[in-house]
Amino acid sequence: GHRGPPLSVSSTDPLADWRLAEEPFYQPVGEEIAGFEAARAARLPVLLKGPTGCGKTRFVEHMAWRLKLPLVTVACHEDLSAGDLAGRWLLDGEGTRWMDGPLALAARHGALCYLDELMEARADTTVLLHPLADTRRALPLERHGELLHAHPDFQLVVSYNPGYQGLHRELKPSTRQRFVALGFDYPEPEVEAAIVAREGGVDAELAMRLVRLAVRTRRLREEGLDEGASTRMLVHAALLHRAGLPVRAAARQSIADPLSDDPQLAPSLRALVDASF
Ligand code: ADP
């Protein structure tokens, strides 16, 4: 590859696509910004734990912007393997060339790398993270015959949802113990309503009514619901209402109906919506 001075910024900045153009709005809930900044100063990898749709991804985007770092995000899924994160050989007209996977790209050039829902990925991915997540800060790219030493700006962030294991296993102690953890949860009603009002473009009163509904659905976990309505779902309800649906229809469509297909729970959720609006 090219080893000299940059030819031009646009053609040689391998992280150009991963820079944030503007500040992502993030409403702090506790001490998470100070906690992240301390982890950043020590270059420690960070584990974000919490239910889906509670602001983990938005938080990482906000921190990347604050720290002026590119953010390479990977949405983990059940087919995602260590090889996908590391990279692969591509065959083209001129022969074969190596292409870094997202993790190698971030480690080589110095980005934040965010592996969203790490537990969804195949088990070999967590093993790949080990040397990168401890003092070695190295990524073995076996297929490339390279031990990649991470750029000083590189930092690893992963998220997972402890309440939802699904088919997947727990995080192994050898993995967890390499990370510092920041716990996330749905914020206090006033704070959550402020987020919904801002993100969904609705007034404070409607936002608060949506939050109260969410709190009721979260109690249905005791009846077997996997997870109650997230902040994300409330934002969706607000957006549907803004797009012209009456609130009740908006809340059914964005909250009650997506949450469950269970013959007992689905009617309970609709009843909660009808009682709220
Ligand atoms: P997660 O990554 O935890 O699944 P997200 O970060 O994608 O969730 O949050 C889902 C949506 O909820 C965001 O797009 C945003 O609209 C809203 N949201 C949740 N929490 C916050 C927060 N603290 N500040 C700003 N927006 C938030």
Model pTM? Answer: 0.93
For ligand 1, say whether the CB of 160 is within 6 Å of any of its atoms.
no
Nearest residue by C-alpha to atom 23 in ligand 1: 27
3-state helix, strand and coil shares in percent for the chain, rounded to the nearest 5: 45, 15, 35
Compute the radius of gyration of the chain from its Cα atoms. 21
CA of 233 relative to ligand 1 center, distance in Å? 10
Can you give the pLDDT at residue 167? 53
For ligand 1, say whether the CB of 235 is within 6 Å of any of its atoms.
yes
- Whether the complex's predicted ipTM is more than 0.95 is answered with yes
Rounded Cα gap, residues 76 and 217, in angstroms: 27
Q: Locate all alpha helices (DSSP H) within 121-276, ordered by sequence.
A: 123-133, 173-176, 189-200, 204-219, 231-242, 247-251, 257-259, 265-276
181-211 pLDDT tens trace: 999 999 999 999 999 999 999 999 999 999 9
Can you give the pLDDT at residue 11? 57
For ligand 1, say whether the CB of 198 is within 6 Å of any of its atoms.
no
Can you give the pLDDT at residue 1? 40
Can you give the pLDDT at residue 113? 98
Q: Which atom of ligand 1 is nearest to the CA of 48?
A: 3
For ligand 1, say whether the CB of 49 is within 6 Å of any of its atoms.
no
CA of 232 relative to ligand 1 center, distance in Å? 6
| Ranges of residues in the chain whose predicted pLDDT is under 50 | 1-2, 6-9
Rounded Cα gap, residues 249 and 175, in angstroms: 44
Query: Would you state the torsion angle of the CA atoms of residues 141, 147, 150, 156, taken in this order, to the nearest 10 degrees?
Result: 40
